[in-house]
Structure 1
């Protein structure tokens, strides 16, 4: 009968499974590459399976490992939860820093509300908000960040868990006099704004690509990476702007509905697979109330087009 003598070996197995590298797994575990290799050798004997096959400097898992890895991860998570569940989290006495990465758009619309709400929930903790960037996925895996909040994140590694919060529609901000026009006509008559944000659409212009595939080429002469600047330019130059509806509502700007097929805009919570379940639930419940409600209306503009 297959039997593992030391549960710590299973943590090594999972790190090699996710990183496909002995050296990278060692770095995350605080072990040498040689020590990780010895752990895998022990597991090969105990589980009677090769576990990994080396290919092009990568450690590729066998079918056996692919099948058991999710169950092992869940088992270790359950053990961790059992060991910590007696230490009930008290919001008032929780003193560890809570680090939260929020994608740029949600930071601008909800950052202040989220910060204030978490400060009320955890009065003894230091709340640290940061804008989501290209390092955030890795920081979530390494548990350097506790939580992430993102719009339509396409890729999240296996060690990061996702929890849906809410959804918002897609709209096209446009001058008030154009709100009765279809997208095809706007694309012919107006220039568009393109908001390029790291780790969201900095590689692909998703919505413009959808329009192009549907025979609606969109011209954009303005490209910025800051929402406030984008909205000022949209106002001054009477541009069109494809955005989640929460942005149009926030700036009280006239708009038409996006008329082409899309998967929608999903706001989700991201955290490490072994994040404390009680803390996760408290955090989720706190921010969900905020993100499921319209953001506090921007007072800088009575109307984006006047």
Structure 2
């Protein structure tokens, strides 16, 4: 059993497609098929059976699925015969990340790492364009930034997650009331309201540029300050699925059932090659990554609307 195989099964369970899993993991479809065959041999179960165009998990796979994310984040057993021990590891780890990644991935990862390795301390700084220099001179150990933002032979990277966006408004917003009344949600309807736009200056999301009618009434670089503005206004905000899921579950915001916006920029972990073989930092990166793959933005959006079956049943206009 390898980490690659665990991650493949985890993604395949989400996509229900060998091709979809291959695309998500950036591997070839033949390799994806070989990984599935290898997993079937290891577990002595079909794991997935075809139902129409989808691969549906078997009863055994359904019992295995909840443990996959935990297993991905628990591979510190690789160091059992090495000097490294999480419980005795002491280090101040400096991480550079944008606030949305901090809220959805880094924060829960740091708590779990601290639980297992109390001697680890974290210093988190705001992401900026000096990421390459900060990694090179040792000012930070790990960066979380848009994928392919850094181009250097000395900088290592690994995909963390891909963004998927959803529109949110306050409870009682005119758009939310119209959806509840059975009206279709259209782009014209959304653009009739002022937009709150998040601009980090680092995301090359030109395909997400607003139309003239959707220019931001407020533009700012901080996502975590946005929900309060949305709750106290009639503005519309586009945020990532996994962050929106928390606010929708708590009842603070309402998600609009619009056609999904094209997937956003992929986020990646970055580190300098000189720390690549450091057992402690290897473990910390693996823990952060386990929270990155725990739930995709696409899956989060599905969960948001699965709590509102009447929304899913509505016919939605294409943008």
Give deviations 1:246-272, integer Å, cap 9, x for gaps. 121121132246647634342321111
Distance in 2 between the 1:206 and 1:196 partners?
11
Equivalent pairs counted in the alignment come to 201
Map of 1:290 onto structure 2: 291
Correspondence for 1:223: 219
1:115-126 alignment, distance < 5 Å? 115-126=110-121
- TM-score (ref. length: structure 1): 0.56
Aligned to 1:75: none
Larger Rg, first or second structure (1 or 2): 1
* CA gap 1:121/1:94 in 2 versus in 1, 3 angstroms: same
Q: Is the 8 A contact 1:148 1:269 kept in 2?
A: yes
1:170 aligned to 2:132? no
Inter-partner Cα distance in structure 2 for 1:137 and 1:257: 39
- Match for residue 129 of structure 1? 124
TM-aligned CA deviation for residue 88 of structure 1 = 3.6
Q: Shift of residue 139 of structure 1?
A: 0.5
Q: Alignment partner of 1:105: what SS? A: helix
Q: Is the 8 A contact 2:94 2:124 kept in 1?
A: yes
SS at match of 2:91: coil
Q: Following TM superposition, by how much is the alpha carbon of 1:134 offset from its aligned partner in structure 2, in angstroms? A: 3.0
Deviations 1:7-43 (A, max 9, x none): xxxxxxxxxxxxxxxxxxxxxxxxxxxxxxxxxxxxx
Match of residue 199 from structure 2: 196
How far apart are 1:171 and its partner, in Å? 1.3
CA separation in 1, counterparts of 2:261 and 2:198?
A: 20
Contact 2:109/2:291 (<8 A) preserved: yes
Q: In the TM superposition, what are the counterparts of 1:260-279 in structure 2 within 5 Å?
A: 262-277=262-277, 278-279=279-280
**Structure 1, unaligned stretches of length 5 or more?**
1-85, 296-306
Contact 1:173 1:254 in 2 (8 A): yes
| Structure 2 segments unaligned to the other structure (5+ residues) | 1-80, 297-319
Could you tell me how far apart the structure 2 residues matched to 1:287 and 1:236 are? Answer: 34
Please state how far the C-alpha of 1:100 moved relative to its aligned partner.
1.4
Say if 2:135 and 2:141, in contact at 8 Å, map to a contact too. Answer: yes
Q: 1:246 to 1:90 in 2, by over 3 A?
A: same
The alpha carbon displacement at 1:147 in A equals 0.7
Q: Distance in 1 between matches of 2:165 and 2:275?
A: 32
Note the alpha carbon deviations across 1:221-263, whole angstroms, 9 max, x for none.
1123332332111121121111111121121132246647634
Counterpart CA distance in 2 for 1:102 and 1:108 is 10
**Deviation string, structure 1 residues 152-196 (Cα, Å, up to 9, x no partner):** 344203122110123342112234235541223311x11100123
